[in-house]
Chains A and B, each alone.
Chain A
Amino acid sequence: MVTTRVSAWEVAAAVPDPELPMLTLADLGILAGVDQDGDAVTAWITPTYSGCPAVAEMAADVSGRLRAAGFGEVRVRLRLDPPWSTDLITEAGRRKLAEAGIAPPHTGARTAGPGLLRLGPTRHLVHCPNCGGADTEELSRFGSTACKALWRCRSCREPFDRIKEI
């Protein structure tokens, strides 16, 4: 029974990401759509990386929240096309990342066109989320989760995570 008239989209959009709980699935652009027909809801989510182990948790969380909000018939489905991109992270999401000490990705993500890929390392101007300094360096392109790289600020000497463009 639906007790309040909160829309299914609002419920699903408020579900926190399992790995980055300061952001919602909507902030991250993972929530790809919600079809609501009375008591029946289908929520679509677009996984980030192929091997992201959080997908099952996201699906379960969205389903659980929608049921708890009173929707009787809840389905969560994956949408693989178009693939997720860091360009889908909203402005609010980028702000929340920075506030949590994680440097947000640049927009206008990578072009994986045919032909020669870049030989040299990618150069990005990345501001330190702690002190705002621009004198930063990439320590490792691969970090604690598939979506993060490890960086360091040369000004304040603090290491920080950065969401890498994909």
Chain B
Amino acid sequence: MTDDHVYLHLSEASADPEGEARWAYGTGFADPLLGVDTSVPPGVDGADLAAYCLMLGDDALVLAQRLIEWCTRAPELEEEVALANLGLDLLGQARHLLTRAGQADGSGRSEDDLAYWREEHEFRNVRLVEAPNGDFAFSIARLLLFSTARHALYLRLSTHPDPVLAAIAARGAKELAYHHEYAVSWTLRLGDGTAHSAARMQAGLDAVWPLLEELFTPHAVELRLGVDPAGLREGVLAELAAVIGEACLTVPTTPPLARVGGRAGRDGVHTEALGPLLAEFQVLARAHPGATW
């Protein structure tokens, strides 16, 4: 017991009935809300809370997947590490939010059930996060929009009546502040760089801008829960305008991407980009249902 080697602890823990703790799908990774009081507080509708956690969890999960696609492809090793770190934060947030969703709706579905066994139309993420990575500037532009809006949202949610969602948001806000800083620093560097880098960064912003509005468009679930995202619009737009101005770039005027019969990502209506992403993400779990190792 005096040896501090981590792998000794792993083998030590493996003999322990509560120590079945491993890292990947099918390996019994501990519940991310282990021992947390998961009752839904009075005045909060469990089904609505679950639907909302699914929306935020799917945003985080899908963007995490996009970020890790940069592994082996980023312009510098440091950026690869950075983008993977951001993806890991979002994956962690997604695990907590999906777990909360499966508890709050009473279905008892686990994070793995929700991540690997839902179909494309059952995902509730905004279309912003599913767009293909494009070039580095597009990915940075997307990260700038997402991190600015999500940081503001998490700050608000940190006082939500559901203590589990509030705790997830409070911790997430600290992480998103780092994501935002990273996106801002690259926006400034590219925008206020060479003519070529500025043109690429502007093109990235122009291309991603139509996907911004969906983050502020309230869904009936959000209205019932009192978390109307429209209230974030003004502050987020002001902050984005300040960053874009500082980067010597122009706030895009490209119009929002049309909804389909009034529906979009929050209703399960996605672009053609989500299907292939999910196929790659889900293939292993589906090829070996219930597998453990």
Residues of chain A having any CB pair with chain B under 8 Å? 16, 18, 21, 44, 49-53, 55-57, 59-61, 63-65, 67-68, 74-85, 110, 112-119, 121-122, 139-144, 146, 150, 164, 166
Contact = CB atoms under 8 A, between A and B. Distances in A.
B235 A114 contact: yes
B182 A63 contact: no
Nearest to A16: B4
B71 interface: no
Contacts of A52: 92
A122 B90 CA distance: 22
Given A82-B170, A146-B89, A141 B181 contact: yes
Given A110-B177, A144-B81, 14 more contacts: A16-B4, A49-B92, A49-B171, A51-B91, A61-B13, A64-B19, A80-B171, A81-B163, A112-B177, A117-B177, A119-B242, A142-B78, A146-B88, A166-B178
Contacts of B96: 50
A144 B88 CA distance: 12
| Interface size class, chain B | 35 or more
Determine the main DSSP class of A at the interface with B.
loop
B177 to A, nearest CB: 4
Contacts of A110: 174, 177
B171 A63 contact: no
**Most chain A CB inside 10 Å of its own CB: which residue of B10, B20, B171, B181:** B171
A76 B181 contact: no
A57 B88 contact: no
Contacts of A18: 6, 9
Contacts of B95: 50-51
Interface in B30-45: 30, 32-36
A67 B16 contact: yes
Nearest to A52: B92
A118 B27 CA distance: 41
